[in-house]
Structure 1
Amino acid sequence: MEYSVTGDAHPCPNHVHPVPQLPGYIPLPTIKSMPAPQRPAGCPPGLEYLTQIDQLLIHQQTDLVEILLGCESNNKYQIKNSLGQKIFFATEENDCCTRNWCGPMRPFIIKVLDNYGQEVLTLSRPLKCVGCCCPCCLQELEVQAPPGNPIGYVIQDWHPLKPKFTIQNERKEPVLKLEGPCCDCKCCSDVIFEVKSVDEAHVVGKICKQWTGFFRETFTDADNFGIQFPMDLDVKIKAVMIGACFLIDFIYFEEK
């Protein structure tokens, strides 16, 4: 087929019409996303990303409406590896009344999606009062992968001074311990929760709430965290550590 050019017409117009996308279309990961490694046997779908890393960076997104109006919105988090490549995106599912009436003690469902938009983790927290003075109202969180299949739990341990938690496997057997500082309000510095062996004799990792600057710390509840764990740790327990980070965020750093 031949094209003729007449007058001021140009065979290659500068304007390009957008190509419509089919409903439900999910774009492929960009170069900023971590490539998906091969999934080993016994690894839940989507968690193969965790087999090759020993640390995670979690960035809570800032909501402008929440800052201006003071109305609590659903939390959203980007989860990256140490190179800054995207691994997961997490979003809270909650209604407006629960968020604003119950505050940081609210129950929640957090869904964790991979780079293709597939749900790989479901984190569930029931409604319980927050406070170390009442041992009968200790916090807990269930982690499912894939959704509907529990792979572990985060259980708060009673202690009069320090935040303490137990990381459990799917059989509710203790695997790791978490211990935070007596004071979680350290100005201009990071707050570190140590990951310890079950007997608490060895430190094997940490969850670090990073200082993000005066303005952000004062006027928002958007926080940054870093998680470190052994490279050879069971991939399911690595996923439970993500849930532990979110639970710590809600209990100690959500309210501003």
Structure 2
Amino acid sequence: MTTVAVVTDQPKGGMEMGPVSQQLPASVEYLKGLDTIIVRQKMEIFEALSGVETKNRYQILNKDFQEIFFAREESNECERIMCSPTRGFRLNVTDNENKNIMRFIREFKYCTGCCCCAEGCCSMVVAAESPFGRNIGKIALANSKCDSHVRIFDSDDRHLFTIWVPCCFCQDGCCPADVIFPVTDPSLTTEVGKMAKVFRGCCVEAIGDADTFRLEIPHDLDLNKKILLIGAVFFIDYLRFEQK
């Protein structure tokens, strides 16, 4: 079993019950100054041995691999087993005091959409909230002529970032490299960061879909934008890597 250090110096405070707070939870302030965020899915032994899809769980880590947040999936069992990549879900993210700090929500769709119909009836959209109930934006699959790409919007539906999804996700002995997803501005002319699916080794890649992602972003990026980019990691994991 892998032991992960836990960050204990997160800003204190939390959400009061009642009306939805318009402020970010205090512990989210820990993201300030971070330029590298690791999202690592927990390996589920039952899933690896049986092939039956279970609820995803993720550690959100800093660059020193210290746990800062933890995400747990809520979803329908039938959708997970029969329609794994397109299932609806709620990913509830907690801090190290087990307080709810952010949530990502996707509705079930029968298909993921191809490049030409990604914005039609098969459109995949993940809504982002922090704290629960406070909309901060969304992540959505967009139309294109060839490669799939993902657009990130703020709560006023302003286009913030675009992430291009490469055609090839091969990771094996012949291709032992990370899969890179460039993050650009809406004009596609300026790269503002990048996401990478980390290569874990041939054997590990073959037995399960517990993937690890590395998000590299400007350290002074707005906190809401950092949360949306974390949501984009989950979006891409479910969209392209939940099919083993």
SS at match of 2:73: strand
Paired residue type of 2:24: P
Q: What is the match of residue 211 of structure 1?
A: 199
Residue 192 to residue 101, structure 1, CA distance change in 2 (3 Å): same
In 2, Cα distance between equivalents of 1:185 and 1:140: 25
Q: Provide the TM-score with structure 1 as the length reference.
A: 0.83
Post-superposition shift, 1:96?
A: 1.7
Residue pair 1:138, 1:158 contacting (<8 A) in 2 also:
no
Q: What is the match of residue 47 of structure 1?
A: 28
Identity rate of aligned residues, in percent? 35
Residue pair 1:38, 1:48 contacting (<8 A) in 2 also:
no
- Correspondence 1:131 to 2:113: yes
In 1, Cα distance between equivalents of 2:218 and 2:11: 18
Post-superposition shift, 1:254?
A: 1.1
Paired residue type of 2:163: L
In 1, Cα distance between equivalents of 2:23 and 2:192: 22
Post-superposition shift, 1:145?
A: 0.6
RMSD of Structure 2 on Structure 1 (CA): 1.8
Deviation string 1:36-86 (CA, Å, 9 cap, x unpaired) is 1478xx850031111121110111111111111211100000011011221
Paired residue type of 2:117: C
Post-superposition shift, 1:34?
A: 4.9
Query: In the alignment, which of 104, 107, 115 is matched to residue 96 of structure 2?
Result: 115
Deviation string 1:82-130 (CA, Å, 9 cap, x unpaired) is 1122110001011321210111111110000100000101100112211
In 2, Cα distance between equivalents of 1:38 and 1:85: 18
SS at match of 1:159: coil
Q: What is the match of residue 36 of structure 1?
A: 10
SS at match of 1:72: coil
Instruction: Name the structure, 1 or 2, with higher relative contact order (CA <8 Å, separation 6+).
Output: 2
In 1, Cα distance between equivalents of 2:160 and 2:105: 19
- Correspondence 1:65 to 2:65: no
Q: What is the match of residue 239 of structure 2?
A: 251
Residue 166 to residue 184, structure 1, CA distance change in 2 (3 Å): same
- Correspondence 1:160 to 2:145: yes
In 1, Cα distance between equivalents of 2:23 and 2:204: 37
- Correspondence 1:225 to 2:205: no
In 2, Cα distance between equivalents of 1:247 and 1:196: 17
SS at match of 2:243: coil
Residue 32 to residue 100, structure 1, CA distance change in 2 (3 Å): same
Gaps of 5+ in 2: 14-21
In 2, Cα distance between equivalents of 1:115 and 1:142: 23
SS at match of 1:222: coil
Residue 179 to residue 117, structure 1, CA distance change in 2 (3 Å): same
Post-superposition shift, 1:149?
A: 0.7
Post-superposition shift, 1:160?
A: 3.3
Q: Provide the TM-score with structure 2 as the length reference.
A: 0.87
